[in-house]
Amino acid sequence: MKRTAKIAVIGALLAVSIAQTYAQTPVVVSTLNVALSGFAGGSDSATPVRITNKDLINALNVGGGFDFGKGAKLMTVVPADGGSPSFIVREGGTDTDVSDFFSTDSSGLVSNGKQQYQILILSFSNGEGTDFDVNGFATEHIGTVRGKDTGPLEGQTTGINATVSGTGDVDGTSAVLKGNVNVGGAKGEMH
Q: Mean pLDDT over residues 41-47, rounded?
A: 94
- Is the model's pLDDT at 133 over the cut of 60? yes
pLDDT score of 23:
74
Position 14 pLDDT exceeds 90: no
* Mean pLDDT to the nearest integer, 90-95: 96
CA 145, CA 21: separation in Å to the nearest integer? 26
Nearest to 73 by CA among 34, 24, 117: 34
Task: Report pLDDT digits (tens) over 45-88.
Answer: 999 999 999 999 999 999 999 999 999 999 999 999 999 999 99
Domain borders along the chain are 24-190
Model pTM score: 0.86
Percent of the chain residues past pLDDT 90, beyond the cut: 87
Average pLDDT score, the chain: 91
| Closest-CA residue to 64 (of 74, 52, 75, 56) | 56
